[in-house]
Structure 1
């Protein structure tokens, strides 16, 4: 076998039906200037075997839709993924997904195809979005050979940007949930975390509109400027 064959990424084996579903997935659409309430958003949360984005695996996916300025409880997504090589790790104490739950999970190929059909062309909201984005990107590449290109907006960045007077430093989802008086039915459960993140996002969207930020594109532009200012402060 040639060196190039060794270096060439292994393509996942999909059956005919799965390959057809993959080919029919809609492409991502760039953030634009439509009003925030006119945009369909998918709020995503992942539970994983750990925090190493190069080694750990996605174990559970929860998602809910924000549409027409409200959470649509009729559009919810939840899957636990079967992982035949999953080993018991300290993370099970956080998310509660033990070997029996993982053994009874869905085929990752089917679960990820279901997820991408659910997402469609919508942008994605997540708390600590860079982690979820990298974990999901690798899972999609490994299982489907699919390149994730959907825009992500990080609710963990959006909250302090819109609330500069909040005395919260490096705040997590629990901190912002408490700050706004929200209640999470269950923490470190993908669906419950996605739902409370969606509730937090709606509050932040309302704040954004009051600050004359009323489009997905304007939101991302404001966040980009905020990131640059944060980086400059760290340098000095």
Structure 2
């Protein structure tokens, strides 16, 4: 399987249209990750839009909150009142946000070759990858780590049959006594995800 992964990585690297990002394909350093979280207008990447993304470096046992990144984007369609109660971002918050290419020009070098840690990573990456591919010619080459899967691995049979409830971030935080910082804020969610990851990384 390793040769398949190497072959896939080589193919992706050959598709790269932005040589300044070639280091994203380098082997990551040990004990370095990046926690990310996205806020969107909905759950379907084909009809909903990214509103904000936060990213924070994790270096061994340290979460580098002093150098984190929280980028607010201007979506092609402004959020409506029904979704504002979910993500908390109003038209006034995003109408002067940055374009997606401008956001990626900042985000991708920050992510670099670090494994990406998140909660519901399939959803976040599902929104990011199409715009990443348009921007640099290929999708994210990084290893993707979902905290929910690590928690399920840690808990074993105790999460069988109730995965959606038992693997919510609030439940994971409560299990480890991690204080909640306020949900549906990308930066706070990225920090909380990073804290949960530090308790669960032995499951990698």
**TM-score, normalization by structure 1:** 0.71
Alpha-carbon distance in structure 2 between the residues aligned to 1:135 and 1:165: 31
Counterpart for residue 11 of structure 2: none
* 1:65 and 2:57 aligned: yes
Alpha-carbon distance in structure 2 between the residues aligned to 1:193 and 1:80: 15
Counterpart for residue 25 of structure 2: 28
Q: Which runs of 5+ in 2 are unaligned?
A: 1-16
Q: Measured at CA, do residues 144 and 199 of structure 1 come closer, stay the same or move farther in structure 2, by a change above 3 Å?
A: same
**TM-score, normalization by structure 2:** 0.81
Residue correspondence of structure 1 range 157-196 to structure 2 within 5 A: 157-164=149-156, 166=158, 169-170=162-163, 171-196=167-192
Alpha-carbon distance in structure 1 between the residues aligned to 2:51 and 2:135: 13
Alignment partner of 2:196 out of 196, 200, 207: 200
Count, aligned residues: 183
Q: Measured at CA, do residues 87 and 144 of structure 1 come closer, stay the same or move farther in structure 2, by a change above 3 Å?
A: farther
Structure number, greater radius of gyration: 1
Question: Would you tell me which structure has more helix in proportion to its own residues?
Answer: 2
Counterpart for residue 75 of structure 2: 83
Q: Which runs of 5+ in 1 are unaligned?
A: 1-20, 214-218, 220-236
Alpha-carbon distance in structure 2 between the residues aligned to 1:63 and 1:166: 31
